[in-house]
Structure 1
């Protein structure tokens, strides 16, 4: 070992003598700072959901939020974190471009992030070119924010068709619809939204809420608490489905065995 160390020392001396080591750029702490900052600024990757509950046995429901990120999304994330609930967010691409930090927080907290189009256009009636543009741009801004590309897509307005189905299938995405719609985009009444979801939820349901409406976000604590009192367990959409999602296929609830 001493002989090896002695030989290594002679190699270093020789390199210095040849001027090779002196040619290497030296980096001060100030030089290294931008590199460190760049590493810390990299988006947090959204990991593949790891099942936390067996939804074949438990009374699972999936809480999903559309159209964000918006001003109320940060408060919603705090509500979900405080109650230990994982949800699925179907985000609009242009909103992600404006608030990538919120989408990054969603992914970092263990929520699922799905594609909801770039401009919330009616993709069921759109041309193939328009569909391609909407999906491609949204996938890209989500990837930039979270480090991963989503495998879930929710058609705006629930409007789909052959062209959209083929487009999402080519991208390896499944179409996620819903079981319960409290019509919170129209009825801006916190108690009404809460009551409709509590009354209509069943095991395997996918629940639709919009985090762009303060009245809907305000209903979330009571929705969570009320469903838990009924014995429900919250899961992400992938956890609720409980099996590999088929690209292009539409899901509006947990499939029957």
Structure 2
């Protein structure tokens, strides 16, 4: 998964690198970035990626009121739907912070909350090799946190792809039903269409 995009300086490079390595991923987009760059959101979907909601401004949602949270999530749903024709089914809370108020708003909007199992630490200055090592800890069905804007993250992709293949794993889609990664061919309980 890649958070915080779309990003005019890096998203296309990231998409091209994923595609050339035969990988698909879920992009948790910030609503205002999606509104400012709708063509990049469409490019994510056109490249075979899945798009999720990562709030409008990336705030600490657990410190906000229900109506403020509603606005953050709803505006993002609308921006992504305007860009792609489909509203997201997946939501990643900024900083991985959640509480009952947030969960209630997610439920009202039909969103499944997605946290991560492995943090690549790319946001924290991890090197390409450290990002590759983090991805090497992934087990079947698990989700890794990465971000759209770092060149180290893009540089790690080919090694991550090779490592997954060597362990007979593939990059998967996140099932809106279970919130776990499943094979992207639609053989699991999830639909093969981007959500």
Sort the TM-score into its range (normalised by shorter chain).
Answer: 0.7 to 0.9
User: Aligned partners of 1:69, 1:133: CA distance in 2, in Å?
Assistant: 20
Structure 1: stretches of 5+ with no match in the other structure: 1-63, 239-243
- Cα offset, 1:125, TM superposition: 2.1
Q: Give the Cα separation in 2 of the matches to 1:214 and 1:79.
A: 11
Question: Structure 2, unaligned stretches of length 5 or more?
Answer: 183-195
- Aligned pair count reads 181
The Cα offsets for residues 97-129 of structure 1, whole Å up to 9 and x where unpaired, read as 221111101112221100000100111221112
Tell me the SS of whatever aligns to 2:64. coil
Superposed CA RMSD: 1.6
Of 131, 143, 156, which residue of structure 2 is paired with 1:219?
Answer: 156
Deviations 1:201-246 (A, max 9, x none): 11111111111112112211211112211211221112xxxxx627
SS of the aligned residue for 2:63 comes to coil
1:231 aligns with 2:168: yes
1:101 aligns to what SS in structure 2?
helix
In structure 2, distance between residues paired with 1:109 and 1:253: 19
Q: SS state of the match for residue 234, structure 1?
A: coil
Partners of 2:31 and 2:129 lie apart in 1 by 30
CA distance in 1, matches of 2:151, 2:36: 19
Larger of the two Rg values belongs to structure: 1
With normalisation by structure 2, the TM-score equals 0.87
CA distances 1:10-55 after superposition (whole Å, capped 9, x unpaired): xxxxxxxxxxxxxxxxxxxxxxxxxxxxxxxxxxxxxxxxxxxxxx
Counterpart-to-counterpart distance in 1, 2:181 and 2:62: 20
